[in-house]
Structure 1
Amino acid sequence: MPSQRVMVITGASAGIGRATAIHLSNAFPSPTHPEELVLVLVGRRQAELEETGKQCREGTVIEVASGDACKEEDVDRIMGIVKEKYGRLDLVFNNAGINSKTPGEFEDQDMAVFRQVLDVNIMSAVLFTKGAFNIMKAQEPQGGRIINNGSISATAPRPNNTAYTISKHAVTGLTRSTSLDGRKYHITASQIDIGNASTTMGSHVVKGQGSMQADGSFKHEPMMHADNVAKTVGLIASLDRDADILSVEIM
């Protein structure tokens, strides 16, 4: 059995990423997973990543890896650190994501902003999944887990939110392809479709007039604490190697 269990969390500077890092640091080591926990915290904001690390359980090995999750050179550098410094990778939580700050009618969208949403939400997960494959299939024991942050928008879009909806449908395709193509390497893939977690990005559903509904009206919607998502990541991380959760909705 390896002496360390290495987990990478993207978008770890705040919100769901920070909540997940804190929860995992308190959940592992455990009786069934006694290895020392290493958390690799990824994001663009160095100071916020360091603050996440400070809030994790004392004794957790924290690796702050600042960089842009949708830039291939940054992802290659971060995964190179993981491979060279720790020699293995057990879990990746692809959590980095954004939404357009100016959603609206599809025909009026700024295509530069549209492309940015697709790039961050899709390509960050693609790049970290690719890097994870290269490490996980070569290590002993072979395999690992990849968990993607999806959204209810992967199945039920919000009005005037095309870029985000497209990106989360693509994440579903990535999850299912990863699950299929990873089988021969003992790599599993899971997607957590999240509805209204209390984060800065999701706060629009309770601020001002609330969120637009399918009939064009606006309503304030109920929210759940981001810790619930973190606990779901922890549940998947705790499973034995012979079990997988392909998808789960939490709202």
Structure 2
Amino acid sequence: MGAVNRPDGKVAVVTGGGSGLGRASALALAGAGWTLVLAGRRKDALEETAALAVDTGAVDPERVLAVPTDIRNPEEVSRLFDAVRDRYGRLDLLFNNAGAAAPRRPITETTFQDWNRVLDTIVTGSFLCAREAFRLMSTQQPQGGRIINNGAPSAHVPRPHSHAYTAAKHAVLGLTKVLALDGRPYGITCGQIDVGNVSPPDGAPQPAATQADGTSAVEATIPVDRFTDALLLMAAQPPDTTIQSLVVLPATMPFVGRG
């Protein structure tokens, strides 16, 4: 594969940018030349990510913006993208990363509150951000942009007792496909990255996971930079090219044949 151009000056929004994969993704994008807009509910965590990006020399302070946002709230999402337009004038990449999890329980013990929280964050939040990204990308000049949704292996095959999370990630897969279709007239692409077990950043041992047969097993993990390298590959494609789907996981992780 030929080299791709550095996207210096191009603007990326990363949701859930205050921790975990969101923070790692933001720092990787900054290091690759992207201007960053970080969204999430915790202002202090977003500002910490921004400071890390600046301290490493990846970006100067004018090229990173932290916007506290609850992506489940339409008004707050609108304000986020207004801030992008006002500060930078355009948007080139949205990484729909923010997520939520619920305790794994039988469906008879899954609470309505847990169901709503997971679906509201993963599905509704992704929809609201994609809607505002479309509004900006389809009207800016030059027109177009890229959306990458953070899926999961659970977008394809479930784990036991993961009703809300599995339903949400399946919905994200459907959203990815329809956004890719509807984005064609505007030069907007949409792809999905599904990542398996990533090593905890604090080095804590990987907990045992329940398998389809009811047993528990400690599964393999990959370093977070295997994920961020894949994300950068997707993000750096030229406008006429999309990586529609990318699954990144430990080679021995039960995914193919999980059931």
TM-score w.r.t. the length of structure 1 is: 0.90
1:47 aligns with 2:44: yes
Contact 2:234 2:243 in 1 (8 A): yes
What corresponds to 1:33 in structure 2?
A: none
Is the contact between residue 20 and residue 231 of structure 1 (CA under 8 Å) also seen in structure 2? no
Structure 1 counterpart of 2:119? 118
User: 1:120-173: per-residue Cα shift (whole Å, max 9, x none)?
Assistant: 010111011000000001111110000000000011100000100000000000
Q: Which residue of 1 aligns with 2:105?
A: 104
Pair 1:170-2:175 in alignment: no
Whole-angstrom CA distance in 1 between matches of 2:206 and 2:213: 18
- Give the AA of the match of 2:206: V
SS at match of 1:216: coil
Cα distance in 1 for partners of 2:226, 2:94 equals 18
- 1:4 Cα deviation from its structure 2 partner: 3.2
Please name the residue that 1:31 is paired with: none
Q: Contact conserved, 2:104 with 2:160, CA < 8 A, in 1?
A: no
Q: Is 1:79 paired with 2:50?
A: no
8 Å CA contact 1:15, 1:226 repeated in 2: no
CA distance in 1, matches of 2:141, 2:8: 12
Aligned equivalents of 1:3, 1:121: Cα separation in 2: 29
Going from structure 1 to structure 2, the CA distance change for 1:241 and 1:191 (only over 3 Å counts) comes to: same
Check conservation: 1:16, 1:227, Cα contact below 8 A. Answer: no
Cα RMSD over matched residues?
Answer: 1.6
Tell me how far apart the structure 1 counterparts of residues 216 and 125 of structure 2 sit (CA, whole Å): 32
Gaps spanning 5+ residues in structure 1: where?
29-36
Matched residue pairs, number?
236
| Aligned-residue offset at 1:199 | 4.2
SS at match of 2:101: coil
- Counterpart residue number, 2:255: none
In structure 2, the CA distance between the partners of 1:97 and 1:199, relative to structure 1 (3 Å rule), is: farther
Question: Structure 1 residue 198: deviation in Å?
Answer: 2.7
* Counterpart secondary structure, 1:175: helix
Match of 1:226 in 2: 224
Q: Deviations over 1:182-212 (max 9, x none)?
A: 0000000010011112348xx8x922xx110
Superposed CA offset, 1:5-59 (max 9, x none): 110000011111111111111112xxxxxxxx32001111111111111221423
The 2-side partners of 1:53 and 1:83 are apart by 19
**Number of the residue aligned with 2:253:** none
Distance 1:52 1:120 in 2: 21
Q: Is the 8 A contact 2:104 2:161 kept in 1?
A: yes
Query: 1:158–1:212: 8 Å Cα contact kept in structure 2?
Result: yes
CA contact (8 A) 1:42 1:49 kept: yes
Q: Name the amino acid aligned to 2:190.
A: A
CA deviation after TM superposition for structure 1 residue 83, in Å: 1.1
Shifted more, 76-85 versus 167-176: the winner is 76-85
| Greater than 2 Å deviation, 4+ residue runs | 57-60
Greater RCO (Cα-Cα under 8 Å, separation 6 or more): 1
Equivalences for residues 108-147 of structure 1 within 5 A: 108-147=109-148
